[in-house]
Amino acid sequence: MKFTDGFWSLRPGVTAVYAQEAYDIVADGDSIVVTAPTRVIRERGNVLNLPALTTTLTPVAEGVIKVRIEHHIGGRRSPGFALNGTDRSGSISITDAAGVVTAGSLRAVIKRGAPWDLSFWQGDKRLTGSGHKAQGYMTLARDHAVAAEPTGLAGYTTDGKAPASHYVHEQLDLGVGELIYGLGERFGPFVKNGQSIDVWNADGGTSSEQAYKSIPFYMSNRGYGVLVNQPEHVSFEVGSESVERVQFSTAGEAIEYLVFAGPEPKDVIDRYTSLTGRPASVPAWSYGLWLSTSFTTDYDEATVNSFVDGMRERGIPLSVFHFDCFWMREFNWTDLEWDARVFPDPKGMLHRMHTEKDLKVCVWINPYIAQRSALFTEGAAKGYLVKRPDGSVWQWDLWVAGMGLVDFTNPDATRWFQDKLRALISQGVDAIKTDFGERIPTDVVWHDGTDPMTMHNLYTQLYNAAVFEVLKDEKGEREAVLFARSATAGGQQFPVHWGGDNTSTFPSMAETLRGGLSLASSGFGYWSHDIGGFEGTPDPAVFKRWVAFGLLSSHSRLHGSDSYRVPWAFDDEAVEITARFTQLKNSLMPYLYRESEQAAATGVSVARPMFFEFPSDPTAATLDRQYMLGKDLLVAPVMSATGEVTFYLPKGAWTNLWTGEVVPGGTWITETHGFDTVPLYVREGAVLAVGARADRPDYDYLEGLTLRVYAAGETIDAAVTVVLADGTPVELRVSGTADAPVVDRAGVTVEVASRI
């Protein structure tokens, strides 16, 4: 949200006051509290009739400092996000010159007097800071705020105007060459510099500026991250209003943010997810191929069996079958009851899918309850649906006729919905796709009194947490898995998430990848997308290229809108490609599952941006058409009809996984690929754990395991961890020479795949 008209002036209807000096710095327990008048105090009379901002600095955890800026401290207080481990370990000191807050390696320094100068340091490196006119309190005259463009302020409401009269903002410096990433699953440019971004969840597809997963967290290539601790709407101007700063603003009387130290990107993510929640461990079977009935297609049990049997007959390993919307009767969504017209024996069908087809089963749900559903009648009678201020049930016809919304702020409503899900799980359902959760109204009253502006983004957290809790209770700690679309900060605790409604084109492949890389830069450990694109039907070339991309992502699902995504619907080669890459992914599970456990331990995603692994390489900082799959595999999806792809190899020796050829890095490469390959390179010194099975993702990874050493020198000395499907880590050591490598466990083979 922009408040200024160029560098010198404010936009019409905007008045602003800014923190001008640190007039008073005092200790308050483990915090420093700064009184910041909005003009420099030169004599006693200057203190009269003068707004002041109060800035409180608090050490939150090792490498994390919290900043709270308030105008009127009696104003409505945001609940913020649920944060773990805020032990407030750190120290404060105040001198005649400055106040200093120290939290491990991170410290904040506020200089006394004018001009306003708050800076953040790690060691002797200044990370960022808040300077002149950075902390501001903005007042909008309503006649201007709702006026026609260009005088109105762009916001996030349906009329495009800022809805509130008062905002607080902070601006943090951008250094020369500094780049910003994250802010949720964003499908536009991966580097956020120059963008205006509203953190306000929306169902806008992947080809828009909107996001299903809006996260008010960003990270910088200078080695720090920032979380704005406001579930409400937060507007970011990333070098787009003041080109030297990142600005973030929110309506009301206060804003709170946390700064996370690095120095490496993975350190920032580790600290961020330590506070907001680690991604849960996901079951090994979830890494296999998922096949969906698709969205609006016509199907019954016979159709489902034809898909499942067709995959098996064609040699395509299938792990999960997903029933989309029409497992329930139309106009009844979401009543959690199978449509008896096409699924007369759901429990028997699910049993057969488990025992005869050896499959896990996922079903689609959402929190929107159609008025024809029995759940609507029951929920409305018990007061479990969200209400309008007049006490009536909130309803509309968008999505399904007369739909209401489960009020997850009501513990009884949550238990009621969870009990309905438990009955579904008892029938044999293994996983749940939690769709929607973005279109949350603000003209309502919540059971617990939460401000509707807070609950718009926060709703998805309560929704996904409620469903995930059921799966953990019924299936076990390591067996719970969602397929979720919406999220906010902390949503990474309830994996996995997928990228929403993309189109069946090469450009949509690229925007989908950008969304995944941005989500990884926001603390999410796992991520998937609709292979082939959701809207429309891809031509065979797009489908086959997308299959390779999808099966070299952490999780892989074939899904579409109004057409089936079985490979034989395209051509015979599509069948071969799907089988080839599914088998490849299954064979890589000993490597991938170790990376999965690292994601659960640190928050660092399985599929991650290049700059995570190569933070000191300036070329890696902007790459958005390739990624690292774990720490050792580089993937560059082919997004062209010709098969031509250009990608960058960082410094070092890289081995082509398909051919074994060793290629020097530090350069750009252009290759042309058939449908059966994709640029897939192994990092120098990697010891890749490759399994003996390609028919399924969940097996004994030690049985028949091969350790492949890449770009080995004359001598070898490396430790490798293999995590078994039950979570047990097994440490293996490879030693010896390139001519005679050895491993310290019987039954495990070691081979040198390439040498330098």
* Partners of residue 416 on adjacent β-strands: none
Residue with tokens 């900082």: 621
Is residue 394 within 8 Å of residue 388, measured between CB atoms? yes
Active-site annotation holder among 170, 501, 624, 632: 501
Cβ neighbours for 135, distance < 8 A, ≥ 6 positions apart: 18, 19, 36, 53, 55, 69, 116, 168, 169, 170, 171
**Whole-angstrom distance, CA of residue 445 vs CA of residue 407:** 10
Which positions ≥6 away from 445 have C-beta within 8 Å? 386, 387, 388, 389, 452
Instruction: Say how far apart CA 629 and CA 636 lie, in whole Å.
Output: 10
CA distance 722 to 254: 48
Residues 6+ apart with CB under 8 A from 338: 327, 328, 346
CB hemisphere CA count around 30 (13 angstroms): 14
183: left (phi over 0), alpha (psi -120 to 50) or beta: left
Which tokens belong to 546?
Answer: 């997308």
Q: How many CB atoms lie within 10 A of CB 276?
A: 25
Contact 543, 559 (CB under 8 A): no
- Classify 556 as helix, strand or coil: strand
Pairwise CA distance, residues 152 & 160, whole Å:
8
Rounded to whole angstroms, the Cα distance separating 429 from 315 reads: 25
Check if 435 is active-site: yes
Q: SS3 of 420, please?
A: helix
Examine the residue annotation and report whether 96 is marked as an active-site residue of this protein: no
Q: Determine if residue 368 is left, alpha or beta; phi over 0 gives left, psi from -120 to 50 gives alpha, anything else beta.
A: beta
Query: Partners of 672 in the beta sheet?
Result: 644
d(CA 631, CA 682): 9
Q: Tell me which residue has tokens 């018990």.
A: 382
Q: Which parts of 112-152 are beta strand (E)?
A: 118-122, 125-130, 136-140
Question: 289-292 and 320-323: which strand pairing?
Answer: parallel
Tell me whether residue 300 is one of the annotated catalytic residues: no
Whether 628 contacts 608, CB under 8 Å: yes
Residue tagged 């017209």 (tokens):
341
Active-site choice (70, 438, 597, 698): 438
Give the dihedral of Cα atoms 187, 190, 193, 194; nearest 10 deg: -40
Point out the catalytic residue in the list 70, 203, 435, 511.
435
Radius of gyration of the chain (CA): 27
Distance CA(400)–CA(287), nearest Å, equals: 32
Backbone angles phi, psi at 144, to 5 degrees: -90, -40
DSSP state for residue 281 in the 8-state scheme: P
Calpha distance 550→530 (Å, rounded): 8
Place of tokens 């390139």: 738
Nearest to 433 by CA among 482, 467, 476: 482
Q: Is residue 598 a contact partner of residue 605, using CB atoms and an 8 Å limit? A: no
Catalytic residue numbers read 435, 438, 501
